[in-house]
């Protein structure tokens, strides 16, 4: 899964990260908090043979705080 963050006015990429694994992974929900942290949730098939939930919290600078 790729998660690019764009600056809306200039359309330039501020940062981009790749999360998940090599299988069929998809983000389903994205939330930006009042302090700029990004929370994303999705579905992954990379770590098991079944669908599993994937959660990530990212700082405003693009650093990963946690994944589950």
pLDDT in tens, 6-41: 555 667 777 787 776 777 778 888 899 999 899 999
Considering its fold, how many domains does the chain have in total?
1
Pairing of strands 26-32, 52-58: unpaired
Domain of residue 44 covers 2-67
What is the pLDDT at residue 9?
60
Chain segment 43-52, per-residue pLDDT in tens? 888 777 788 8
Is residue 15 within 8 A of residue 6, CB to CB? The reply is no
How does residue 5 score in pLDDT terms, banded at 50, 70 and 90? Answer: low
Q: How crowded is residue 17: how many other Cβ atoms within 10 Å of its Cβ? A: 15
Q: Using the 8-state DSSP alphabet, how is residue 64 labeled? A: E
């Amino acid at each position: 899964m790729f998660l690019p963050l764009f600056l809306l006015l200039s359309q330039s990429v501020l940062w981009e990260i790749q999360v998940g694994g090599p299988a069929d992974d998809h983000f389903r929900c994205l939330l930006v908090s009042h302090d700029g942290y990004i929370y994303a949730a999705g579905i992954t098939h990379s770590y098991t043979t079944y669908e599993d939930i994937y959660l990530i919290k990212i700082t405003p600078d693009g650093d990963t705080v946690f994944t589950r």
